[in-house]
Amino acid sequence: MKLFTFLRGEAFARGIHPPEHKGTAGMPITRVPFAPRLIVPLSQNVGRPAKPIVKVGQEVLRGQPLAQADGFVSVPHHAPVSGVVEAIRLNPTSGGLWTESVIIRALPGSPQSVEWEEPQDLDNVDDSGLIAAVQRTGIVGLGGGVFPTHAKLRVPKEFPVDTLVVNGCECEPYLTSDHRIMVERAKDIMKGIAMSRRLLKNPRAIIGVEDNKPDAVEALRAALPPGGEITVESVPTKYPQGAGEMLIKTLLNREVPPDARSYSVGAYVQNVATLAYMGALAPRGRGFIERVITVAGNAVARPGNYLVPMGTPLRFLLDYVGAPEAGVEVIFGGPMMGQAVACLDAPITKGVSGILVFRARDLEAPSTKKSFPCIKCGKCVESCPMGLNPSTLGMLAAKRQYDTMADHYRLGACFECGTCSYVCPANIPLVQQFRVAKQVLRGKPEKAA
């Protein structure tokens, strides 16, 4: 296998090998108890916010819809716990923004079982019926994309998909939730793959798993249905292997052109966790009310892979895992691309795959260190998976020449993977500068063509 990947050119070009810190990889998924109050924001994903369909004071069952989708690119949200709707009001989210949220007071002794479902025989519905069934689960891209999964499944007809690429790379350090899902819920993943393949007109499916997770590869292979249309490939462990474009490059040696979707090269990428939940929930007509989240970091006393009810307040979860609330940095997602949390009163939402808590005093973020001017060491150029020149981009950003960045140095192709900032010995906050540049450019009126 190693030789095979070597011969065909060893994964995508460039990239890095940060320390993995995947100490939670061997820890089975365990449940987190209900917080006294759960907060379900109506807007948790790309697309329109959901419309509430419950009233204040109303009793709801675990799994019952609280809000319905508003249009096609929108998903419903469901009650994560049986309880009473206490309020529908503004509540802070992780970024610090306040959004309309449904607050549910959990009933004491609320059951862990799902009390509300609408099972459906999906074998006998047409494609739009299947897409509607996926939409009813309220699933969004769980790898961090938070794009409604059912909407992504509607691929334009002019782009035939020949390969469903299943992303089991989980290349971010610390995170192991996808790993555990592959080990413990391989059957659900296969169900999700079957549904997706049906909607994509039966392409072959390749599950790409980084070679630091041999037990996941084994579990998946054991769960493969007969027929050989689905295969499991062990791919080199390298950041950012889990980026869709990079995995397509590694598995198929196809490069998605700039500004194009992956289906333009015949590939459709879906994350393993998304498929697992789709496979488990859609046939039973259940809502997405909890997910597996890795909680780790050097300030966490009891790290692990937790099954967390959606809407659990971050403060409650930190308390449960034994993490202090002061003098820490809390990150939603992985250490390379995750977002620092501004407000501990924020609830946990659908897009959170990991929660990392670091003691502030040993923060390693580039922005905490003394920075030098670019010494042109070339490390960033050598590492950028998109083949950009972060050194020159950074110098242009410092001079605010944002248009030159976009027009001559392909700023738009940067997907903010963080690799350049990670390697830069001068501690230049490159990605941060690129983010600002993109924001400024977005704010500008379109140039006349």
Partner 1 sequence: MSVEIRSAPHIKADSGVVKIMRNVVWSLLPICAFYIWQYGISALASLVVVTAACLAAEEFFLRLGRQSGDLGDWSATITGILLALTLPAGFPLWMGAVAGFVAIGLGKAIFGGIGHNLFNPALVGRGFVQAAFPTAIATYTPSFMPGRFSEFIPSSLALPFMTPADTTAWAASHLDGVSSATPLARWKFEGVLASNWDLLTSLSGHLAVGPSPLLILACGAYLAWRGYLDWRIPAAVLGSAALLAAALYPLNPQHFPEPGFVLFSGGLMLGAVYMATDMVTSPVTPRGMWVYGALIGALTVIIRYSGGLPEGVMYAILIGNAATPMIERVTQPPAFGTAPTKETKA
72: which residues sit within 8 A by CB, 6+ positions away?
135, 151
Show contacts of 260-264: CB within 8 Å, 24+ apart.
261/159, 262/165, 263/155, 263/156, 263/159, 263/161, 264/159
Interface segment toward ligand SF4; rule CB under 6 A; list 60-68, 94-102, 114-122, 414-422: 414-422
Residue 377 interacting with ligand SF4 (CB under 6 A):
yes
Cβ nearer to ligand SF4, comparing 264 with 389:
389
| Residue 360, binding choice from ligand SF4, partner 1, none, Cβ under 5 to 8 Å by partner class | partner 1
Ligand-binding annotation for 424, yes or no, is yes
Q: Which of 419, 429, 433, 437 binds ligand SF4 (CB under 6 A)?
A: 419
Residue 374 interacting with ligand SF4 (CB under 6 A):
yes
Query: Residue 245 and residue 253: Cα distance in Å, rounded?
Result: 10
Tokens matching residue 403: 């248009």
Ligand-binding annotation for 380, yes or no, is yes
| Residue 428, binding choice from ligand SF4, partner 1, none, Cβ under 5 to 8 Å by partner class | ligand SF4
Ligand-binding annotation for 169, yes or no, is no
Radius of gyration (C-alpha) of the chain in whole angstroms = 22
Q: Which of 83, 303, 418, 429 binds ligand SF4 (CB under 6 A)?
A: 418
Place of tokens 């790898």: 143
Interface segment toward ligand SF4; rule CB under 6 A; list 196-204, 209-217, 285-293, 384-392: 384-392
Q: Which of 74, 379, 396, 405 binds ligand SF4 (CB under 6 A)?
A: 379
| Residue 441 main-chain phi, psi, to 5 deg | -65, -35
Neighbours of 212 (CB within 10 A): 17
Query: Residue 373 and residue 432: Cα distance in Å, rounded?
Result: 16
| Residue 427 main-chain phi, psi, to 5 deg | 55, 35
400: which residues sit within 8 A by CB, 6+ positions away?
none
Q: Which of 376, 399, 400, 408 binds ligand SF4 (CB under 6 A)?
A: 376
What is each CA distance from 18 to 199, 242, 291, in whole angstroms? 37, 14, 26
| Residue 369, binding choice from partner 1, ligand SF4, none, Cβ under 5 to 8 Å by partner class | partner 1
Residue 16 interacting with ligand SF4 (CB under 6 A):
no
Task: Please tell me what DSSP assigns to residue 37.
Answer: E
CB of 385 to partner 1, least distance (A): 7
Ligand-binding annotation for 171, yes or no, is no
Quickly count helices (H) and strands (E) in the chain: 14, 17
Query: Residue 252 and residue 208: Cα distance in Å, rounded?
Result: 11
CB of 415 to ligand SF4, least distance (A): 5
Give contact residues for ligand SF4 (rule: CB under 6 A): 374-380, 384-386, 388, 390-391, 394, 414-420, 423-426, 428, 430-431, 434
Binding residues: 374, 377, 380, 384, 414, 417, 420, 424
Binding residues for [4Fe-4S] cluster: 374, 377, 380, 384, 414, 417, 420, 424
